[in-house]
Chain A
Amino acid sequence: MKELLIIIMGAILVENFVLTKFLGICPFLGVSKNLSNAIGMGGAVIFVMTVASAATWLVYDKFLLPNGLVYLETIVFILVIAVLVQFVETVMKKLLPPLYKALGIYLPLITTNCAVLGVALLNIDRGYSFIESLLYGFGGGVGFTIALILFAGVRERLELSDIPETFKGLPITLVAAALVSLAFFGFQGLF
Protein backbone atom coordinates (compact mmCIF):
# COMPACT_ATOMS: atom_id res chain seq x y z
CA MET A 1 0.00 0.00 0.00
CA LYS A 2 2.79 2.39 0.97
CA GLU A 3 4.63 1.77 -2.30
CA LEU A 4 1.50 2.55 -4.31
CA LEU A 5 1.04 5.81 -2.44
CA ILE A 6 4.66 6.73 -3.14
CA ILE A 7 4.18 6.03 -6.86
CA ILE A 8 1.08 8.16 -7.13
CA MET A 9 2.36 11.09 -5.03
CA GLY A 10 5.71 10.85 -6.78
CA ALA A 11 4.07 11.13 -10.18
CA ILE A 12 2.04 14.16 -9.09
CA LEU A 13 4.62 16.18 -7.19
CA VAL A 14 8.19 14.90 -7.20
CA GLU A 15 8.51 13.99 -10.87
CA ASN A 16 5.74 16.10 -12.29
CA PHE A 17 5.35 15.15 -15.94
CA VAL A 18 5.37 18.69 -17.27
CA LEU A 19 7.62 20.57 -14.91
CA THR A 20 10.39 18.08 -14.19
CA LYS A 21 10.08 15.47 -16.94
CA PHE A 22 9.24 17.83 -19.82
CA LEU A 23 6.48 15.63 -21.20
CA GLY A 24 3.45 17.31 -22.72
CA ILE A 25 4.98 20.76 -23.07
CA CYS A 26 3.00 21.55 -26.25
CA PRO A 27 -0.44 21.42 -24.60
CA PHE A 28 1.06 22.95 -21.46
CA LEU A 29 1.99 26.07 -23.42
CA GLY A 30 -0.87 25.90 -25.91
CA VAL A 31 -3.91 25.28 -23.73
CA SER A 32 -2.99 27.11 -20.52
CA LYS A 33 -4.25 30.49 -21.69
CA ASN A 34 -7.43 30.25 -19.65
CA LEU A 35 -8.66 28.19 -16.75
CA SER A 36 -11.68 26.44 -18.31
CA ASN A 37 -9.65 25.09 -21.23
CA ALA A 38 -6.95 23.97 -18.81
CA ILE A 39 -9.47 22.02 -16.74
CA GLY A 40 -11.02 20.37 -19.83
CA MET A 41 -7.68 19.37 -21.27
CA GLY A 42 -6.49 18.14 -17.88
CA GLY A 43 -9.57 15.95 -17.42
CA ALA A 44 -9.12 14.40 -20.85
CA VAL A 45 -5.41 13.76 -20.21
CA ILE A 46 -6.04 12.09 -16.80
CA PHE A 47 -8.60 9.81 -18.44
CA VAL A 48 -6.51 8.86 -21.46
CA MET A 49 -3.28 8.43 -19.50
CA THR A 50 -4.94 6.04 -17.05
CA VAL A 51 -6.62 3.97 -19.76
CA ALA A 52 -3.54 4.02 -22.01
CA SER A 53 -1.29 2.85 -19.16
CA ALA A 54 -3.57 -0.12 -18.58
CA ALA A 55 -3.97 -0.97 -22.28
CA THR A 56 -0.29 -0.70 -23.24
CA TRP A 57 0.77 -2.68 -20.17
CA LEU A 58 -1.61 -5.50 -21.13
CA VAL A 59 -0.50 -5.47 -24.76
CA TYR A 60 3.16 -5.55 -23.72
CA ASP A 61 2.81 -8.27 -21.11
CA LYS A 62 0.32 -10.54 -22.87
CA PHE A 63 1.26 -10.08 -26.52
CA LEU A 64 4.68 -8.51 -27.17
CA LEU A 65 6.67 -10.23 -24.41
CA PRO A 66 5.51 -13.84 -25.00
CA ASN A 67 5.95 -13.50 -28.77
CA GLY A 68 9.42 -11.90 -28.58
CA LEU A 69 8.24 -8.74 -30.31
CA VAL A 70 9.57 -6.29 -27.73
CA TYR A 71 11.42 -4.31 -30.42
CA LEU A 72 8.06 -3.32 -31.90
CA GLU A 73 7.16 -1.56 -28.63
CA THR A 74 7.19 1.99 -30.02
CA ILE A 75 5.09 1.28 -33.13
CA VAL A 76 2.58 -0.89 -31.27
CA PHE A 77 2.19 1.56 -28.39
CA ILE A 78 1.48 4.56 -30.59
CA LEU A 79 -1.06 2.56 -32.58
CA VAL A 80 -2.72 1.24 -29.42
CA ILE A 81 -2.95 4.80 -28.10
CA ALA A 82 -4.36 6.12 -31.40
CA VAL A 83 -6.98 3.38 -31.60
CA LEU A 84 -7.81 3.75 -27.93
CA VAL A 85 -8.35 7.50 -28.18
CA GLN A 86 -10.63 7.01 -31.20
CA PHE A 87 -12.52 4.27 -29.33
CA VAL A 88 -12.92 6.34 -26.17
CA GLU A 89 -14.20 9.21 -28.28
CA THR A 90 -16.84 7.10 -30.02
CA VAL A 91 -18.00 5.38 -26.84
CA MET A 92 -18.14 8.62 -24.90
CA LYS A 93 -20.15 10.29 -27.65
CA LYS A 94 -22.75 7.52 -27.54
CA LEU A 95 -22.93 6.75 -23.82
CA LEU A 96 -21.84 9.89 -21.98
CA PRO A 97 -22.81 12.91 -24.09
CA PRO A 98 -22.27 15.47 -21.27
CA LEU A 99 -18.75 14.21 -20.61
CA TYR A 100 -18.09 14.16 -24.35
CA LYS A 101 -19.18 17.75 -24.61
CA ALA A 102 -16.71 18.74 -21.92
CA LEU A 103 -13.68 16.68 -22.96
CA GLY A 104 -14.39 15.52 -26.53
CA ILE A 105 -12.64 18.30 -28.38
CA TYR A 106 -9.37 17.60 -26.56
CA LEU A 107 -9.32 13.88 -27.23
CA PRO A 108 -7.93 13.85 -30.80
CA LEU A 109 -5.08 16.13 -29.69
CA ILE A 110 -4.01 13.68 -27.06
CA THR A 111 -2.82 11.01 -29.49
CA THR A 112 0.32 13.00 -30.12
CA ASN A 113 0.75 14.21 -26.55
CA CYS A 114 4.11 12.89 -25.49
CA ALA A 115 2.96 12.49 -21.88
CA VAL A 116 0.71 9.59 -22.93
CA LEU A 117 3.30 7.66 -24.93
CA GLY A 118 5.85 8.67 -22.30
CA VAL A 119 3.92 7.13 -19.43
CA ALA A 120 3.40 3.91 -21.40
CA LEU A 121 7.14 3.61 -22.07
CA LEU A 122 8.13 4.56 -18.52
CA ASN A 123 5.82 1.90 -17.04
CA ILE A 124 7.64 -0.76 -19.04
CA ASP A 125 11.11 0.75 -18.44
CA ARG A 126 10.57 0.69 -14.70
CA GLY A 127 9.05 -2.77 -14.66
CA TYR A 128 5.83 -1.67 -12.94
CA SER A 129 3.06 -4.20 -12.28
CA PHE A 130 -0.41 -3.69 -13.75
CA ILE A 131 -1.77 -1.85 -10.70
CA GLU A 132 1.38 0.25 -10.37
CA SER A 133 1.18 1.23 -14.06
CA LEU A 134 -2.45 2.20 -13.69
CA LEU A 135 -1.70 4.40 -10.68
CA TYR A 136 1.39 5.91 -12.29
CA GLY A 137 -0.68 6.84 -15.36
CA PHE A 138 -3.40 8.34 -13.19
CA GLY A 139 -0.89 10.21 -11.01
CA GLY A 140 0.93 11.49 -14.08
CA GLY A 141 -2.35 12.82 -15.48
CA VAL A 142 -3.24 14.50 -12.20
CA GLY A 143 0.24 16.06 -12.04
CA PHE A 144 -0.17 17.35 -15.60
CA THR A 145 -3.56 18.85 -14.70
CA ILE A 146 -2.28 20.53 -11.54
CA ALA A 147 0.62 22.06 -13.47
CA LEU A 148 -1.74 23.21 -16.23
CA ILE A 149 -4.23 24.79 -13.83
CA LEU A 150 -1.56 26.50 -11.72
CA PHE A 151 0.09 27.82 -14.83
CA ALA A 152 -3.18 29.07 -16.31
CA GLY A 153 -3.49 31.18 -13.15
CA VAL A 154 0.04 32.51 -13.55
CA ARG A 155 -0.61 33.40 -17.17
CA GLU A 156 -3.78 35.29 -16.38
CA ARG A 157 -1.67 37.46 -14.08
CA LEU A 158 1.02 37.85 -16.75
CA GLU A 159 -1.54 39.34 -19.13
CA LEU A 160 -1.81 42.33 -16.81
CA SER A 161 1.86 42.96 -16.18
CA ASP A 162 4.21 45.31 -17.92
CA ILE A 163 6.70 43.17 -19.83
CA PRO A 164 9.74 44.31 -21.88
CA GLU A 165 8.97 44.25 -25.60
CA THR A 166 11.36 41.42 -26.52
CA PHE A 167 10.00 39.17 -23.79
CA LYS A 168 6.36 39.59 -24.69
CA GLY A 169 4.59 36.37 -25.59
CA LEU A 170 6.44 33.10 -25.49
CA PRO A 171 9.72 34.14 -23.74
CA ILE A 172 8.03 35.48 -20.61
CA THR A 173 5.76 32.42 -20.57
CA LEU A 174 8.83 30.19 -20.52
CA VAL A 175 10.51 32.27 -17.81
CA ALA A 176 7.33 32.02 -15.73
CA ALA A 177 7.29 28.26 -16.35
CA ALA A 178 10.88 28.14 -15.06
CA LEU A 179 9.75 29.73 -11.79
CA VAL A 180 6.80 27.34 -11.40
CA SER A 181 9.18 24.48 -12.16
CA LEU A 182 11.56 25.83 -9.52
CA ALA A 183 8.71 25.79 -7.02
CA PHE A 184 7.98 22.15 -7.85
CA PHE A 185 11.65 21.44 -7.43
CA GLY A 186 11.05 21.93 -3.72
CA PHE A 187 9.24 18.59 -3.67
CA GLN A 188 12.45 16.78 -4.60
CA GLY A 189 13.46 14.54 -1.76
CA LEU A 190 9.92 14.39 -0.37
CA PHE A 191 10.20 10.62 -0.24
Chain B
Amino acid sequence: MALDLTKEKGIPLDQQRFTWPDMVRTPISKLNDDAFTRVRVILMNGIENESWIFQHQFARVNGALRKELARVRRVEQHQQTLVNWLLPSDQSVLETTIGYEQVAVEVTATVATHEPDPYMQQVYRFGLLEDFDHLYRYSALLDRLEGKDANDILQNYTDVMPGRPTWVEHRHPDDDLRAHYDRKKAHPLTKIHAMLVLAAEQQTRNFYATVGNYYADPMARQLYAEISSIEEQHVTQYESLQDPNEPWLEKWLLHEATEVYCYFSCLQQEGNPRIKQIWEQMLAYELGHLNYVMDLFRREEKRDPFEVLPRTLPQPLNFASHRDYVREVLRDEVNLRAQGTRFVPADQEPQDGPSATYRDYLNSKGSPSETVSAGYRWMPGTELIARAQALRAQQAGVH
Protein backbone atom coordinates (compact mmCIF):
# COMPACT_ATOMS: atom_id res chain seq x y z
CA MET B 1 0.00 0.00 0.00
CA ALA B 2 1.45 3.37 -1.02
CA LEU B 3 0.91 6.42 1.15
CA ASP B 4 0.04 9.61 -0.75
CA LEU B 5 1.52 12.48 1.23
CA THR B 6 -0.45 15.03 -0.76
CA LYS B 7 -3.73 13.59 0.58
CA GLU B 8 -3.05 11.99 3.98
CA LYS B 9 -3.80 14.52 6.71
CA GLY B 10 -3.50 12.33 9.78
CA ILE B 11 -4.79 13.60 13.12
CA PRO B 12 -4.58 17.39 13.58
CA LEU B 13 -1.97 18.52 16.11
CA ASP B 14 -4.53 20.08 18.47
CA GLN B 15 -6.32 16.73 18.80
CA GLN B 16 -3.20 14.80 19.81
CA ARG B 17 -3.23 14.07 23.53
CA PHE B 18 -2.29 11.42 26.06
CA THR B 19 -3.08 10.28 29.58
CA TRP B 20 -0.36 8.61 31.66
CA PRO B 21 -1.79 5.11 31.12
CA ASP B 22 -1.82 5.90 27.37
CA MET B 23 1.93 6.38 27.60
CA VAL B 24 2.68 3.62 30.09
CA ARG B 25 1.23 0.47 28.58
CA THR B 26 1.89 -3.23 29.02
CA PRO B 27 5.33 -3.80 27.50
CA ILE B 28 6.15 -6.29 24.76
CA SER B 29 7.27 -9.78 25.78
CA LYS B 30 11.01 -10.34 25.67
CA LEU B 31 10.38 -14.05 25.14
CA ASN B 32 7.29 -14.21 22.93
CA ASP B 33 7.33 -11.16 20.70
CA ASP B 34 9.25 -11.35 17.44
CA ALA B 35 12.73 -9.82 17.60
CA PHE B 36 11.70 -7.36 14.89
CA THR B 37 8.93 -5.98 17.09
CA ARG B 38 11.70 -5.09 19.56
CA VAL B 39 13.80 -3.75 16.67
CA ARG B 40 10.94 -1.47 15.64
CA VAL B 41 10.37 -0.26 19.21
CA ILE B 42 14.06 0.59 19.61
CA LEU B 43 14.29 2.25 16.20
CA MET B 44 11.21 4.40 16.77
CA ASN B 45 12.47 5.50 20.16
CA GLY B 46 15.58 6.75 18.37
CA ILE B 47 13.53 8.50 15.69
CA GLU B 48 11.40 10.25 18.31
CA ASN B 49 14.45 11.28 20.32
CA GLU B 50 16.14 12.76 17.27
CA SER B 51 13.05 14.83 16.46
CA TRP B 52 12.89 16.07 20.02
CA ILE B 53 16.59 17.02 20.05
CA PHE B 54 16.41 18.67 16.63
CA GLN B 55 13.37 20.75 17.54
CA HIS B 56 15.11 21.99 20.68
CA GLN B 57 18.18 23.04 18.69
CA PHE B 58 15.95 24.75 16.12
CA ALA B 59 14.09 26.66 18.84
CA ARG B 60 17.37 27.98 20.20
CA VAL B 61 18.19 29.74 16.93
CA ASN B 62 14.71 30.72 15.75
CA GLY B 63 12.52 33.11 17.72
CA ALA B 64 9.65 33.21 15.23
CA LEU B 65 8.85 29.50 15.36
CA ARG B 66 9.39 28.88 19.09
CA LYS B 67 5.70 28.39 19.80
CA GLU B 68 5.09 26.00 16.90
CA LEU B 69 8.19 24.01 17.79
CA ALA B 70 7.16 23.75 21.45
CA ARG B 71 3.71 22.45 20.49
CA VAL B 72 4.96 19.70 18.19
CA ARG B 73 7.84 18.84 20.51
CA ARG B 74 5.52 18.18 23.45
CA VAL B 75 3.72 15.51 21.45
CA GLU B 76 7.04 14.00 20.30
CA GLN B 77 8.04 13.77 23.97
CA HIS B 78 4.94 11.77 24.83
CA GLN B 79 5.25 9.60 21.74
CA GLN B 80 8.84 8.79 22.70
CA THR B 81 7.71 7.77 26.16
CA LEU B 82 4.92 5.58 24.84
CA VAL B 83 7.29 3.81 22.44
CA ASN B 84 10.29 3.40 24.72
CA TRP B 85 8.20 2.20 27.66
CA LEU B 86 7.14 -0.76 25.50
CA LEU B 87 10.48 -2.38 26.36
CA PRO B 88 10.08 -4.78 29.29
CA SER B 89 12.00 -4.59 32.56
CA ASP B 90 13.01 -8.28 32.52
CA GLN B 91 15.23 -7.37 29.57
CA SER B 92 18.52 -6.56 31.28
CA VAL B 93 20.55 -3.55 30.21
CA LEU B 94 22.89 -5.88 28.35
CA GLU B 95 20.05 -7.72 26.65
CA THR B 96 18.62 -4.37 25.56
CA THR B 97 22.09 -3.53 24.27
CA ILE B 98 21.99 -6.67 22.11
CA GLY B 99 18.67 -5.37 20.77
CA TYR B 100 20.23 -1.99 19.98
CA GLU B 101 23.02 -3.66 17.98
CA GLN B 102 20.52 -5.83 16.15
CA VAL B 103 18.76 -2.62 15.11
CA ALA B 104 22.08 -1.18 13.97
CA VAL B 105 22.87 -4.26 11.86
CA GLU B 106 19.49 -5.04 10.33
CA VAL B 107 18.19 -1.51 9.83
CA THR B 108 21.50 -0.27 8.38
CA ALA B 109 21.48 -3.31 6.08
CA THR B 110 17.99 -2.55 4.75
CA VAL B 111 19.00 1.08 4.27
CA ALA B 112 22.20 0.10 2.43
CA THR B 113 20.28 -2.16 0.07
CA HIS B 114 17.59 0.44 -0.70
CA GLU B 115 19.83 3.51 -0.89
CA PRO B 116 20.01 4.97 -4.42
CA ASP B 117 23.36 6.80 -4.01
CA PRO B 118 26.44 4.51 -4.36
CA TYR B 119 28.65 6.62 -2.06
CA MET B 120 25.99 6.59 0.66
CA GLN B 121 25.61 2.84 0.24
CA GLN B 122 29.33 2.51 0.88
CA VAL B 123 29.08 4.62 4.03
CA TYR B 124 26.28 2.43 5.38
CA ARG B 125 28.17 -0.76 4.61
CA PHE B 126 31.22 0.68 6.37
CA GLY B 127 29.23 1.51 9.53
CA LEU B 128 27.33 -1.77 9.41
CA LEU B 129 30.46 -3.88 9.84
CA GLU B 130 31.41 -1.89 12.93
CA ASP B 131 28.06 -2.34 14.66
CA PHE B 132 28.15 -5.98 13.65
CA ASP B 133 31.39 -6.30 15.61
CA HIS B 134 29.85 -4.55 18.64
CA LEU B 135 27.11 -7.17 18.67
CA TYR B 136 29.76 -9.89 18.95
CA ARG B 137 31.68 -8.15 21.76
CA TYR B 138 28.53 -7.43 23.79
CA SER B 139 27.36 -11.02 23.26
CA ALA B 140 30.62 -12.20 24.83
CA LEU B 141 30.04 -9.88 27.78
CA LEU B 142 26.44 -11.06 28.20
CA ASP B 143 27.58 -14.69 28.22
CA ARG B 144 30.54 -14.12 30.52
CA LEU B 145 28.93 -11.69 32.94
CA GLU B 146 25.27 -12.72 33.18
CA GLY B 147 25.55 -16.27 31.84
CA LYS B 148 22.99 -15.55 29.12
CA ASP B 149 22.77 -16.31 25.42
CA ALA B 150 22.50 -13.26 23.11
CA ASN B 151 20.42 -15.38 20.77
CA ASP B 152 17.50 -15.23 23.22
CA ILE B 153 17.25 -11.65 21.98
CA LEU B 154 18.43 -12.13 18.38
CA GLN B 155 16.11 -15.12 17.73
CA ASN B 156 18.47 -16.60 15.11
CA TYR B 157 18.05 -13.67 12.71
CA THR B 158 21.46 -12.03 13.16
CA ASP B 159 24.92 -13.63 13.25
CA VAL B 160 27.22 -13.33 16.26
CA MET B 161 30.75 -13.16 14.89
CA PRO B 162 33.55 -10.61 14.60
CA GLY B 163 33.21 -7.76 12.12
CA ARG B 164 35.71 -4.95 11.70
CA PRO B 165 37.44 -5.26 15.08
CA THR B 166 36.21 -2.57 17.45
CA TRP B 167 39.76 -1.63 18.44
CA VAL B 168 40.59 -0.58 14.86
CA GLU B 169 37.37 1.41 14.55
CA HIS B 170 38.79 4.25 16.65
CA ARG B 171 39.61 7.06 14.25
CA HIS B 172 40.72 10.65 14.36
CA PRO B 173 37.60 12.89 14.16
CA ASP B 174 38.70 14.15 10.72
CA ASP B 175 38.44 10.62 9.36
CA ASP B 176 34.85 10.27 10.56
CA LEU B 177 33.52 13.09 8.38
CA ARG B 178 31.94 12.07 5.08
CA ALA B 179 30.92 13.92 1.92
CA HIS B 180 27.36 15.22 2.23
CA TYR B 181 24.50 14.86 -0.20
CA ASP B 182 23.46 17.84 -2.31
CA ARG B 183 20.05 18.98 -1.12
CA LYS B 184 19.06 20.09 -4.59
CA LYS B 185 20.00 16.85 -6.35
CA ALA B 186 19.65 14.07 -3.79
CA HIS B 187 16.78 11.59 -3.93
CA PRO B 188 14.32 12.15 -1.03
CA LEU B 189 15.03 8.61 0.16
CA THR B 190 18.72 9.47 0.48
CA LYS B 191 17.78 12.29 2.85
CA ILE B 192 15.38 10.11 4.85
CA HIS B 193 17.96 7.33 5.14
CA ALA B 194 20.64 9.71 6.39
CA MET B 195 18.20 11.00 8.99
CA LEU B 196 16.98 7.66 10.26
CA VAL B 197 20.37 5.97 10.55
CA LEU B 198 21.68 9.04 12.34
CA ALA B 199 18.71 8.85 14.74
CA ALA B 200 19.36 5.17 15.47
CA GLU B 201 23.06 5.69 16.11
CA GLN B 202 22.50 8.77 18.22
CA GLN B 203 20.14 6.99 20.58
CA THR B 204 22.63 4.14 20.81
CA ARG B 205 25.37 6.57 21.78
CA ASN B 206 23.07 8.19 24.34
CA PHE B 207 21.94 4.85 25.74
CA TYR B 208 25.48 3.52 26.22
CA ALA B 209 26.66 6.82 27.63
CA THR B 210 23.81 6.67 30.17
CA VAL B 211 23.74 3.00 31.16
CA GLY B 212 27.48 2.28 30.99
CA ASN B 213 27.75 3.14 34.67
CA TYR B 214 24.95 0.75 35.65
CA TYR B 215 27.33 -2.20 35.77
CA ALA B 216 29.64 -2.69 38.74
CA ASP B 217 31.96 -4.77 36.58
CA PRO B 218 35.01 -2.77 35.44
CA MET B 219 35.09 -4.89 32.26
CA ALA B 220 31.52 -3.89 31.40
CA ARG B 221 32.19 -0.25 32.25
CA GLN B 222 35.24 -0.26 29.96
CA LEU B 223 33.38 -1.94 27.11
CA TYR B 224 30.47 0.51 27.26
CA ALA B 225 32.98 3.38 27.38
CA GLU B 226 34.74 2.03 24.30
CA ILE B 227 31.67 1.31 22.19
CA SER B 228 29.95 4.52 23.26
CA SER B 229 32.98 6.29 21.80
CA ILE B 230 32.52 4.50 18.46
CA GLU B 231 28.83 5.41 18.47
CA GLU B 232 29.87 9.04 18.86
CA GLN B 233 32.03 8.53 15.76
CA HIS B 234 29.03 7.06 13.97
CA VAL B 235 26.88 10.06 14.92
CA THR B 236 29.64 12.26 13.50
CA GLN B 237 29.75 10.17 10.34
CA TYR B 238 26.01 10.01 9.65
CA GLU B 239 25.38 13.61 10.66
CA SER B 240 27.98 14.72 8.12
CA LEU B 241 25.96 13.07 5.32
CA GLN B 242 23.29 15.75 5.63
CA ASP B 243 23.64 18.86 3.50
CA PRO B 244 24.58 21.64 5.93
CA ASN B 245 23.05 24.16 3.52
CA GLU B 246 19.52 22.85 4.07
CA PRO B 247 17.43 25.57 5.70
CA TRP B 248 16.24 24.65 9.21
CA LEU B 249 12.62 24.44 8.11
CA GLU B 250 13.57 22.10 5.31
CA LYS B 251 15.31 19.91 7.88
CA TRP B 252 12.21 19.99 10.07
CA LEU B 253 10.09 18.89 7.13
CA LEU B 254 12.49 16.02 6.50
CA HIS B 255 12.36 15.00 10.15
CA GLU B 256 8.59 14.74 10.06
CA ALA B 257 8.71 12.87 6.73
CA THR B 258 11.24 10.43 8.23
CA GLU B 259 8.95 9.79 11.19
CA VAL B 260 6.03 9.16 8.85
CA TYR B 261 8.13 6.84 6.68
CA CYS B 262 9.39 4.83 9.66
CA TYR B 263 6.00 4.45 11.37
CA PHE B 264 4.52 3.51 8.00
CA SER B 265 7.22 0.82 7.62
CA CYS B 266 6.47 -0.45 11.15
CA LEU B 267 2.74 -0.57 10.49
CA GLN B 268 3.23 -2.57 7.29
CA GLN B 269 5.18 -5.34 8.98
CA GLU B 270 4.03 -5.53 12.60
CA GLY B 271 2.72 -8.94 13.64
CA ASN B 272 1.53 -8.06 17.16
CA PRO B 273 -1.97 -6.52 16.78
CA ARG B 274 -1.66 -4.49 19.99
CA ILE B 275 1.60 -2.90 18.82
CA LYS B 276 0.30 -2.50 15.29
CA GLN B 277 -2.50 -0.34 16.65
CA ILE B 278 0.12 1.86 18.31
CA TRP B 279 2.07 2.24 15.04
CA GLU B 280 -1.17 3.18 13.31
CA GLN B 281 -1.95 5.88 15.86
CA MET B 282 1.62 7.21 15.80
CA LEU B 283 1.57 7.32 12.00
CA ALA B 284 -1.63 9.38 12.12
CA TYR B 285 -0.02 11.73 14.65
CA GLU B 286 3.10 12.14 12.51
CA LEU B 287 1.02 12.83 9.42
CA GLY B 288 -0.61 15.56 11.49
CA HIS B 289 2.84 16.97 12.31
CA LEU B 290 3.94 16.73 8.70
CA ASN B 291 0.92 18.68 7.49
CA TYR B 292 1.44 21.25 10.25
CA VAL B 293 5.07 21.75 9.20
CA MET B 294 4.14 21.77 5.50
CA ASP B 295 1.86 24.75 6.22
CA LEU B 296 4.70 26.49 8.08
CA PHE B 297 7.01 25.75 5.18
CA ARG B 298 4.61 27.31 2.69
CA ARG B 299 4.16 30.33 4.96
CA GLU B 300 7.79 30.92 5.93
CA GLU B 301 9.78 29.59 2.97
CA LYS B 302 7.18 30.52 0.34
CA ARG B 303 7.83 27.20 -1.36
CA ASP B 304 5.93 24.02 -2.17
CA PRO B 305 6.92 21.32 0.38
CA PHE B 306 6.89 18.78 -2.44
CA GLU B 307 9.99 20.42 -3.84
CA VAL B 308 11.63 18.61 -0.91
CA LEU B 309 9.28 15.72 -0.14
CA PRO B 310 8.27 12.78 -2.31
CA ARG B 311 4.56 12.80 -3.19
CA THR B 312 4.21 9.17 -2.18
CA LEU B 313 6.31 7.32 0.35
CA PRO B 314 9.10 5.13 -1.04
CA GLN B 315 9.32 1.37 -0.46
CA PRO B 316 9.20 0.70 3.30
CA LEU B 317 12.14 -0.46 5.38
CA ASN B 318 12.53 -4.22 5.29
CA PHE B 319 12.51 -5.44 8.88
CA ALA B 320 14.06 -8.85 8.21
CA SER B 321 17.27 -10.81 8.56
CA HIS B 322 20.00 -9.73 6.14
CA ARG B 323 22.35 -12.60 6.97
CA ASP B 324 23.59 -13.31 3.44
CA TYR B 325 24.03 -9.65 2.61
CA VAL B 326 25.93 -8.93 5.83
CA ARG B 327 28.22 -11.94 5.29
CA GLU B 328 28.95 -10.74 1.76
CA VAL B 329 29.82 -7.24 2.95
CA LEU B 330 31.94 -8.75 5.71
CA ARG B 331 33.86 -10.86 3.23
CA ASP B 332 34.50 -8.00 0.82
CA GLU B 333 34.89 -4.91 3.01
CA VAL B 334 36.04 -5.82 6.50
CA ASN B 335 39.51 -4.52 5.74
CA LEU B 336 38.43 -1.07 4.64
CA ARG B 337 39.54 1.95 6.64
CA ALA B 338 38.43 5.59 6.43
CA GLN B 339 40.81 8.25 5.23
CA GLY B 340 39.17 11.63 5.17
CA THR B 341 35.86 11.15 3.37
CA ARG B 342 37.16 8.14 1.39
CA PHE B 343 37.45 4.43 2.17
CA VAL B 344 40.75 2.70 1.50
CA PRO B 345 42.16 -0.80 2.05
CA ALA B 346 43.79 -1.20 5.48
CA ASP B 347 47.29 -1.44 4.00
CA GLN B 348 46.88 2.01 2.49
CA GLU B 349 46.11 3.65 5.81
CA PRO B 350 49.23 5.61 6.82
CA GLN B 351 50.82 3.97 9.88
CA ASP B 352 51.77 7.35 11.33
CA GLY B 353 48.56 9.09 10.19
CA PRO B 354 46.15 10.84 12.58
CA SER B 355 43.80 7.84 13.01
CA ALA B 356 46.57 5.32 13.63
CA THR B 357 48.18 7.65 16.18
CA TYR B 358 44.86 8.34 17.89
CA ARG B 359 43.96 4.63 18.01
CA ASP B 360 47.36 3.49 19.23
CA TYR B 361 47.22 5.82 22.22
CA LEU B 362 43.60 4.91 23.13
CA ASN B 363 44.48 1.21 23.04
CA SER B 364 47.93 1.58 24.60
CA LYS B 365 46.77 0.23 27.97
CA GLY B 366 44.63 -2.54 26.56
CA SER B 367 41.50 -2.87 24.48
CA PRO B 368 38.24 -3.66 26.33
CA SER B 369 36.59 -5.18 23.26
CA GLU B 370 39.56 -7.46 22.65
CA THR B 371 39.78 -8.51 26.30
CA VAL B 372 36.09 -9.28 26.79
CA SER B 373 35.89 -11.55 23.76
CA ALA B 374 39.25 -13.34 23.99
CA GLY B 375 38.63 -16.87 22.68
CA TYR B 376 34.87 -16.31 22.47
CA ARG B 377 32.86 -18.28 19.95
CA TRP B 378 29.07 -18.06 20.08
CA MET B 379 27.26 -21.37 20.47
CA PRO B 380 23.62 -22.16 21.31
CA GLY B 381 23.06 -21.99 25.06
CA THR B 382 26.29 -20.06 25.89
CA GLU B 383 29.93 -21.09 25.70
CA LEU B 384 29.55 -22.89 29.05
CA ILE B 385 27.95 -25.79 27.18
CA ALA B 386 31.28 -26.44 25.44
CA ARG B 387 33.08 -26.16 28.78
CA ALA B 388 30.68 -28.63 30.41
CA GLN B 389 31.09 -31.06 27.53
CA ALA B 390 34.88 -30.82 27.83
CA LEU B 391 34.65 -31.46 31.58
CA ARG B 392 32.42 -34.45 30.97
CA ALA B 393 34.87 -35.86 28.41
CA GLN B 394 37.76 -35.28 30.81
CA GLN B 395 35.94 -37.11 33.60
CA ALA B 396 35.10 -39.98 31.25
CA GLY B 397 38.81 -40.19 30.33
CA VAL B 398 39.84 -40.36 33.99
CA HIS B 399 37.34 -43.09 34.75
Query: Are A and B subunits of one complex?
Result: no
Which positions in A face B, CB cutoff 8 Å? none
B: residues with CB less than 8 A from A are none
